[in-house]
Amino acid sequence: MFARSCNASASFETNGGELLKLPRMLTSIQKAPHDDRSSEQLQVTMMRAELAAQIDRLTGGVDGLYQTAVPRFLLARVSHMQHPAHVVHEPAFCVLAQGSKRVLLADEVYVYDSGQYLVVAQNLPVSGQVIDASPDAPYLGLKLSFDVKDIAAAALEFRFGNAAPARVSPRGIYTGELSTAVLDPVLRLVKLLASPEDVPALAPLVIREILYRLLRSPDGWRLAQMAMVDSHSQRITQAISVLSRRFQEPLRIEVLAEEVHMSVSSLHHHFKAVTAMSPLQFQKQLRLQEARRIMIGENVDAATAGHRVGYESQSQFNREYSRFFGSPPARDVKRLRELQLGRVSS
């Protein structure tokens, strides 16, 4: 009815017999949602600019990854594009104030910039690459890592676990649109770094608020499912934990399924729904990433590294390493060491 009232002026007869045309009073009401969105977008833009200025100041305009006075809260500054970095990403909330990044999980690609945030809800082997950064406009970002128990506790405390829909296990990584509701506590947490004496008392409160905002977001059910007792997501979290602790051991899928109280077929189905890969593929990535870390950090050869992470066949290790990282172990490690020493030209 209101829509029709706005399409034509309403006419009423006065006591004198004259027709009085009333103005279209509902026009401004119709425009209100658009005006609200414009105001929200403007505020988000201003808050992102303030966040970028704060991160650039706190990093001293020098590239690097900076641990802050807040536990598990990192700031990052990068002024050039990077090669992909392979890591096991812990559960975390990531925001970019400037620049963009590409994250690969198995064959899936997630690209986010200053308009979105990234949530990693499980321990996942991924590769990340800064794809938009320059000396004039450096990549400026932050990462707040969470313990899975923190997420579950918050979901239960705020009763989000009960509201989580009964769906197939959600992917353990996703992006969301940045809003003022999310950016506000993020900015307060960054500003709190200027007062280290206040961090112990105030930082936990602000982090709880960030978790609350994430749980209230359109994709918050993905996190809330982790708090549902005996949910498939929670059991996959347990399976990931088992594989992460014992990736060097031969994988017996029947034993793993029994440990997390699932059938073999259900474990395969929900594990792939969460991680985009099978348990065997997950274990393989954990082994290869650990072998690479050992060769670089402990200066051991490929045969030793392969054996330590569980490979019985050296040729199989070399073959799978080359396929995953793009070059044989010795060549790959040499390139990475040269990058660390800054001898490779961009």
Tokens of 262: 């699932």
Same domain membership, residue 318 and residue 210 = no
**Is 13 part of any domain?**
no
75 and 196 share one domain: yes
The total of other beta-carbon atoms located within 10 Å of residue 175's CB is: 17
Residue 37 lies in a domain: no
- Rounded to 5 degrees, what angle do the CA atoms 312, 313, 317 make? 105
Number of domains in the chain: 2
Q: How far apart are the first and last CA of the chain?
A: 63
CATH of the domain at 329: 1.10.10.60
Q: Indicate whether 174 and 125 sit together in one domain.
A: yes
CATH no. for residue 135?
Answer: 2.60.120.10
Please indicate, yes or no, whether residues 269 and 328 belong to a single structural domain of this protein.
Answer: yes
As a whole-number percent, the residues of the chain with pLDDT over 70 amount to 85
Is residue 29 domain-resident?
A: no
**What letter does residue 219 receive in the DSSP assignment?**
T
Boundaries of domain holding 272: 232-341
Q: Indicate whether 85 belongs to any domain.
A: yes
- Check whether residue 265 and residue 306 sit in a common domain: yes
**Whether residues 237 and 333 fall in one domain:** yes
124-127 long-range contacts (CB < 8 A, ≥24 apart) are: 124/88, 124/89, 124/172, 124/173, 124/240, 124/275, 125/86, 125/87, 125/88, 125/89, 125/282, 125/285, 125/286, 125/289, 126/86, 126/87, 126/88, 126/89, 126/173, 127/84, 127/85, 127/86, 127/87, 127/103
Confidence at residue 186, expressed as pLDDT on a 0 to 100 scale: 98
Same domain assignment for residues 109 and 154: yes
Tens of pLDDT, residues 181-238: 999 999 999 999 999 999 999 999 999 999 999 999 988 888 887 767 678 888 999 9
Statement to judge: residues 279 and 170 lie in one domain? no
Cβ neighbours for 277, distance < 8 A, ≥ 6 positions apart: 106, 271, 285
pLDDT digits (tens, 9 = 90+) for 104-124: 999 999 999 999 999 998 899
Residue from 12, 32, 7, 34 nearest 22 by CA: 12
DSSP state of 115: T
DSSP single-letter state for residue 104? E
Q: Looking at the structure, tell me whether residues 220 and 245 fall in a common domain.
A: no
**Residue at 191 is within a domain:** yes
